[in-house]
Structure formats: structure tokens, C-alpha cells
Amino acid sequence: MSLQSPSSEQQIEMLTQMLRIREFEERVKRTFTEYPGVIRGHTHLADGAEASIVGALSHFKKGDAALATYRCHGYPLALGTDPKAMMAEILGRADGICKGLGGSMHLTDVANGFLGTSGIVGAGIPHAAGAAWAAQIRKKGEVVFCFFGDGASKQGAFHETLNIASLWKLPVIFVMENNGYNVVTTSEQEDANAAAGQPLAIKATSYVMPGVTVDGTDPLAVAEVVGHAVARARAGEGPSLIESKVYRLSAHGNIIAPPGVPLHYPEHEAITVFGKREEYEAALRGDPVPRFRGKLVQSGILSGAAADALNAQVAAEMDVAVKFAVASPFPALESALDNVYA
């Protein structure tokens, strides 16, 4: 099976989406100081995973579905969701994509194929398999992208679902973003494979499906590996497990300090818990977003000036999103009673 490499236009599109995700997350972060108190609860950022998200979803076609976790800001941006509606949701406003009922952890955009996000680790994995069963019955070659973290692979839901997905040859691509940390513990502390020095993709062998580890900081590498898994799923040959190795560049989530302010992102757990500042700084030096930009500029696909223009365009887009969200009214109180039942 050979896959076509992404064209120059497609690579520029990938960079654009990576920049949009990064800028969106930077604006979420900045909100804690620019507009203290407007974000409630817990938010989880995708910075560091942009290349993985964009590379994987570069194979998404209309009719496909994607499901993810509470760390869910990146996917809908790549799928075409309006960042204004996303930011308004994160601020709990009437113009939010989920009418202010879900917030940061439950962004959903069915119209663009982003079907759902569970805030419970691993719980969404069987949902993706269920959507894949629907795709299998419809026989249109549609597939489901299932995103989760390495921590989720310690849940029963992961193992039960991979077993059934393989038995039933469901058209689902399990993309495990392995960012090395499960909230504040390292993978080696809670994963038998990791502790033995094995890649987590090895878990696929128990379920008789391909298991591939890929550098999740390289969108082209991810696109190639996921491309094979997608082709396999579309052909009715069943699921695959992709372990996409990324480094989460922010802490697990923002600090929650009831009764309120200030809420902010502390330093990464590598520093705050393990004192491994050098590990974190090495990850920063390998930041996938400037690296991919540099690669496109160096290879002549994009001029430096065009890349700068792209940065400016994305910054303006997300600035509009923040201003829109801040200006959006709170939902009418009675709306809290809607949408309980269909």
C-alpha cells in the first residue's frame, strides 16, 4: 500500500492548522491573566500535540467521525469548527458551540464530524467503536478517529474495546497520544510496557491489530502512519492502534484554587514534581510548531514572509474569537432546563 505524500498546499494547510491550535491554546492560557475569572473549572491544553492532531486528521473525510477526551480544543479547530463558538463555550456563554452546557472538556461539533468528548479517562473509547459499528453497517467506507491519552490505556474500557473492535473488524483508528505523563505520574510508574522499556503500541499485539509508534511531533510522519491505518479501516480490514509520541508543553490542566482567582497554568509536572527542567526545556527546543514552520521555509514550500503573514492571520483570528467570547452574553437561566431529554 503506497500513500501519496502531502502536496505543498496540503503541507501549508497543516502548518496553518497547527498554528491555529497553538494560538487558540495560547489565548486560553492568556485569558487567565487578561480576563481573570472568565474561565471556570478545568481546562486542558493541546499545545505540543498539534502535529499529531493535524497529521492524523489530514485523512478525515466528510462522513467520518472523530471522538476525543477532555483535552479537546485541537480537534474541532482542525475539523473546521468556528473558534469563536469554541471560545464562547469555554467561557460558558450563550454563543458557545454547546450553548454553555459543556465547557472546555466537552466541546462537540456534530456538523463537522466531532461527535463527542468524555471527561472520564478512557470512557470515550467504546463510543468511538460504536460509531464505527454504525459506519460498518452503512458500508460507505467511513471511518472513526478515536483520540485518547496514554493514561487511558490502563482503563478496562480501552482493553475491552480494542478486543471487540478487532473481533468485529470495526473501521476505527485508535490514536493514543502518549505525552509521557498521566496527570502527574510518568508512564513508567504506571504502565508495565513502559516500565519494561517497550513502546505502548505493543498493546495492539494482544488484540491482533497493527500497532505502530510514531513521532507525534512530525505531522508528515503521523499523516503517513495514520494514512495506512485509515486505508486499512476503509477497506474493511479493521482497526489499528497508533502510539503518537508527543510532549505536553503545558501542565496537565490549569490550577484550581477555590474559591476562585487566580487560576492559571503552573509549570509542567516534569519541573514541579520531578525536577527535570532539562527534559522540559529539551521538549520546548523540539516544539513541533516552529519546527514544521522552519522545515517548510527551509524547503522553499513557504517563504519566510508568507509564514509571518500566516502567523499574523492566525493571531488576528483568535483575537477576534476571544473578543467575541468575552462579549457574548451568558445563556438565559431557563436554558439550563433544556436539552435534558431529546
Residues making contact with another protein (CB under 8 A): 65, 67, 96-102, 106, 108-111, 115-116, 118, 120, 123-137, 156-157, 160-161, 163-164, 167-168, 338-342
The least distance separating another protein from the CB of residue 183, rounded to whole angstroms, comes to 18
User: With 0-12 CB in 10 A as exposed, 13-18 as middle and 19+ as buried, what is 82?
Assistant: middle
Task: Quickly tell me which residue has 476505527 as its cell.
Answer: 172
Angle between helices 304-327 and 83-90 (to 10 degrees): 50
Whether residue 331 contacts residue 99, with contact meaning beta carbons closer than 8 Å, is answered with yes
**Cβ-contact 78, 17 below 8 angstroms:** yes
Nearer to another protein, 115 or 214 (CB): 115
| Residue 233, all three cell numbers | 479501516
**Cell reading at 153:** 490505556
d(CA 9, CA 30) in angstroms, rounded, equals: 31
Shortest reach from residue 41's CB to another protein, in Å: 13
Which one, 110 or 257, has the nearer CB to another protein? Answer: 110
Q: Give Cα 263 distance to the centre of its chain.
A: 22
Distance, in Å, from the CA atom of 211 to the CA atom of 226, rounded to the nearest integer, reads: 11
Q: In the complex, what is the shortest distance from the CB of residue 161 to another protein, in angstroms, rounded to a whole number?
A: 5
Q: Of 100 and 219, which has the nearer Cβ to another protein?
A: 100
Pick the closer one to another protein by CB: 50 or 109: 109
Q: How far is the CB of 125 from another protein (least distance, A)?
A: 7
Q: Nearer to another protein by C-beta: 160 or 279? A: 160
For residues 117 and 38, the answer to whether their CB atoms sit within 8 Å is: no
C-alpha to C-alpha distances, 191 to 180, 200, 316, nearest whole angstrom = 11, 8, 42
How far, in Å, CA of 194 to CA of 173, rounded? 22
What phi and psi values does residue 176 have, to the nearest 5 degrees?
Answer: -90, 110
Smaller CB separation from another protein, 53 or 125: 125
Q: Using an 8 Å Cβ cutoff, are 58 and 220 in contact? A: no
Judged by CB, which is closer to another protein: 158, or 280? 158
Nearest distance, CB of residue 268 and another protein, angstroms: 29
Minimum CB separation from another protein for residue 159, in Å?
8
Roughly how many angstroms between the first and final C-alpha of the chain, as a whole number? 44
Nearest by Cα to 332 from 102, 151, 100: 100
Which helix (DSSP H) or strand (DSSP E) does residue 211 occupy? Answer: strand 211-215
Contact 24, 320 (CB under 8 A): no
**Smallest distance, another protein to C-beta of residue 182, A:** 18
Please, which residue, 14 or 79, has the CB nearer to another protein?
Answer: 79
Q: How far is the CB of 39 from another protein (least distance, A)?
A: 17
Least Å from the CB of residue 43 to another protein = 15
67 vs 220 by CB, closer to another protein: 67
